[in-house]
Structure formats: structure tokens, C-alpha cells
Amino acid sequence: MQTISIDENSRILLEDNNYTLQYKRKDSKAKGGKIWAVGGYFPTLATLLQDWVINAPAHTDTPLRTLQELVIYIQKAEKHIENLIKGKQ
């Protein structure tokens, strides 16, 4: 099983014919209090990354309160993916 980190709270699990998006979640029963939960299964890397960007606002540590904050957060998520693809972190 191979994984590639997207950020500190999300990663890609590489499997045959499948890409799995995983998010770190709190779990009081788990060692260290965190587990990797499945965020979705995708046939292509492109669809996985699109889903990660689209759902980025749902995974913020602080709630977004305005439409402007939402748009800015999505733009930051898009930029983060662009930087990962270009090899910049």
C-alpha cells in the first residue's frame, strides 16, 4: 500500500485501478486519537484532486463565515494542488 500526502490532514492511497482519498479524523479509540477515514474512491487522479478542492471548505479547522472567505479558501486549495503538481510545497 502506497500513500502520497496532499497536506497534513489528507492523503491519497494508491491501489490497482483505484485512487482513494483519505482524511485524518479524530477518534478517541485510536492510538494517538486519530485515524485515516475514507473520503472517496476515484478512477482517476484528476477526479480525486477535483473532489479534494471542491470539498476543501468542509475540512477547514475554522468555520468560513462569508462567501468571500469560501471563494478564497477554494482558490487556496486550487493553488496548493498546482504547487504539488509542479513539485513546490
d(CA 26, CA 34): 4
Please say whether the beta carbons of 3 and 14 come within 8 A: yes
Cell of 69: 472567505
The tens place of each residue's pLDDT in the chain, 89 residues long, gives 799 999 999 999 999 989 999 999 888 777 778 899 999 999 999 999 999 999 999 988 889 999 999 999 999 999 999 999 998 76
